[in-house]
Structure 1
Amino acid sequence: MLAADKSGNLYGVGGRGMIAQGVAKVGATVTVNTIHDADTGLYKVYINGQEKYSTTSPQDVWRDKYGAYATSSGSGPITVTWNDVEFYTR
């Protein structure tokens, strides 16, 4: 799961570390693209057109889901707008 902290940093929940620093500040638009290659097990995350994270993982653990959730370290109201969401397969 990708999360944002109050400094606008995007990080991977569950110990996956920093993905992109300072890109998700209040009022900012962020483009997130993910690529899952089922043949190789490769998973990549692009933030604003730049590859920021890459790993390999078994096919059955991949999930693409979006929303706004409070983690155990977060609190307060949030407003998130999702635009132009598309899913593709080859």
Structure 2
Amino acid sequence: MAKKLNVTPLHDRVIVRPAKAEAKTAGGIIIPDTAKEKPQRGVVVAAGAGKKDEPVTVKVGDTVLYSKYGGTEINIEGEELLIMRESDILAIVPA
């Protein structure tokens, strides 16, 4: 498991580590960097406490699907992560 972040998101924000973009198609064709799709799946690495009447429903370690252009790219401790509102998360994927 990765190291614990020393950053805590506020309110209903979560920090997600995006999955790697696919390098090959199912048929074995290699996809160049310029044609790769942004991943829409990732793992929650930190979550805020939620709003006053709405606690956050995702927890650290959950694999989630999020909207294609949801979140803001940030760099924490040399790692590219996304910070987004919980409402940008579409689903929790079972492990």
When Rg is computed on C-alpha atoms for both structures, the one with the higher figure is 2
Please give the TM-score of this superposition, normalised by the length of structure 1: 0.26
Q: Which has the higher contact order (CA 8 A, sep 6+)?
A: 2
